[in-house]
Amino acid sequence: MAGVALEVTDLVKRYGPRAALDGVSLSAGLGAVTAILGPNGAGKTTLVEICEGFRRQDTGQVRVLGLDPGREGRRLRPLIGVMLQQGGIYPAARPREMLELVAAYYANPLDPAALLRRLGLLEVAGVPCRRLSGGQRQRLSLALAIVGRPAMVFLDEPTTGLDPQARQAAWELISELRRDGVTVILTTHYLEEAERLADRVVIIDRGRVVAQGAPAELTEAGARRRLEFRARPGLDLAGLAAALPSGHVAREVSPGHYVVEGEIGPRVVAEVATWCADRGVLPGDLRIESRSLEDVFLELTGRELRS
């Protein structure tokens, strides 16, 4: 990480008795993609809206590109691009006009026509925005966030409601932003999106950070614990148990479905393969269970990510 783009320390924001953010601390690297992952109502939007300068925290500190969004908004605004979860577009304006308007606020904007083409909006560039589909509006919002050539963009659920093709286009654009050196903060409740795009994932739940790190760090924290395979039912597992390092257990959990539990390293896999070969058995569906971000999330919060 070349430097820190976003530094949040002990952030607290209450709405009445409910704490939307309950002591959040996190950091995001300059030029990296950081995904803020959490279920609906976890506090993601509140968090980014404080970073964007829309809301003020009750206590705690925020530094965005070294600036305090609450006090130094005027200096910060030209540096960041913002994609709201919804709204921000005149319903009677046309996408081309809207993008050209926002481009005119900036010193070195991207070419609006090229951006419209790139996001598949050229055919609807002259249609009033109120007649755009949800996905088209979403893509226009994304274009509005980046047209000013910002150093840093905040994307609040950028692909919610997009069809798979449009989601792919948005992902490519986000990857290209990263490649070109733009810092990206995105919120999402799609694991796939975080796993695929993010250099760093921050998982928040009920206003608290429950984990943060690179996706691989998070999923590999804790060793892999389980190996499974299928073979003909009723094999005698005594020999296998003897061959495995101590502490490992081999069981036939249902007829023909075998499970080895314990720390699964390359030696263990070799022993299982050898044991099968000695019996002339080909292990089918052999798999070493790896944790997904979803498993990590479930372990940390006891909740499904998508509710």
Partner 1 sequence: MEARGVLAPAPGSAPALRRVAAQAAMELRLQLRNGEQLLLTLAIPILVLVVFSVAPVLGVRDRVAFLLPGVIGLAVMSTAFTGQAIATGFDRRHGVLKRLGATPLGRSGLILGKTAAMLGVEAIQVVVLGLVALGLGWRPHGSVAGALLLILLGTAAFSGLGLLLAGLLRAEATLAAANLVYLVLLVVGGVVFPVSDLPAAVRGPAELLPITALTDGLRAALGEGGLPARDLVELAVWAVLGAGLASATFRWE
Give the footprint of partner 1 on this chain (CB under 8 A): 52-54, 73-74, 77-80, 82, 84, 86-93, 97, 100-102, 104-108, 110, 114, 144, 146, 148-152, 176-177, 179-182
Q: Quote the least distance from Cβ 38 to partner 1, whole Å.
A: 22
Of residues 130 and 225, the one with the C-beta less far from partner 1? 130
Determine contact, residues 151/177, Cβ cutoff 8 Å: no
Q: Quote the least distance from Cβ 101 to partner 1, whole Å.
A: 5
Q: What are the CA-CA distances from residue 171 to residues 142, 184, 241, 280 (Å)?
A: 11, 12, 46, 47
Q: Quote the least distance from Cβ 45 to partner 1, whole Å.
A: 13
Of residues 150 and 262, the one with the C-beta less far from partner 1? 150
Q: Quote the least distance from Cβ 187 to partner 1, whole Å.
A: 17
Determine contact, residues 62/7, Cβ cutoff 8 Å: yes
* Residues 6+ positions from 264 with CB-CB distance below 8 Å: 223, 224, 225, 226, 227, 288
Of residues 158 and 215, the one with the C-beta less far from partner 1? 158
Q: Quote the least distance from Cβ 64 to partner 1, whole Å.
A: 12
Instruction: Report which DSSP code applies to 123.
Output: G
21: which 2 tokens?
A: 């953010």
Of residues 104 and 282, the one with the C-beta less far from partner 1? 104
Q: Given the structure tokens 């597992």, which residue do they identify?
A: 237
Of residues 86 and 290, the one with the C-beta less far from partner 1? 86
Q: Given the structure tokens 């509140």, which residue do they identify?
A: 46
Q: At what angle do helices 164-179 and 134-146 cross, to 10 degrees?
A: 10
